[in-house]
Amino acid sequence: MVGCLLVRAGRFEEALPELLTAAKASTARTRNISNAYTRYFLAMTYWHLGQSDEARQWLARANATADEELKESNFTWN
């Protein structure tokens, strides 16, 4: 996912719209990418952009999503 690559490159301003688009599109897990994964990257991005309230909100969403995904018997972390 482009947004995750941009985060890893430290290009947080560019990553944010990519990650938000992915989060909106990911109502169901697709291409074996976990929704929690995207949400964790959003939390990291907001944190690095100095938006700690948004970061905390996305972190809470990511944790809740991970809890749900791990209940799936066929779930695998990438």
β-bridge mates for residue 30, sequence order? 33
Q: Helix, strand, or coil here: 78? A: coil
User: In the CATH scheme, what is the code of domain 2-71?
Assistant: 1.25.40
- Quickly count: other Cβ atoms within 10 Å of residue 70's Cβ: 11
Q: Which of the two residues, 71 and 4, has the higher pLDDT score?
A: 4
Quote the pTM value.
0.83
What's residue 26's pLDDT? Answer: 64
Q: Where are the alpha helices (DSSP H) in 1-78?
A: 2-8, 12-25, 35-48, 52-71
What's residue 71's pLDDT? Answer: 83
pLDDT per residue as tens digits for the range 11-57: 999 999 999 998 887 655 555 567 888 999 999 999 999 999 999 99
What's residue 34's pLDDT? Answer: 79
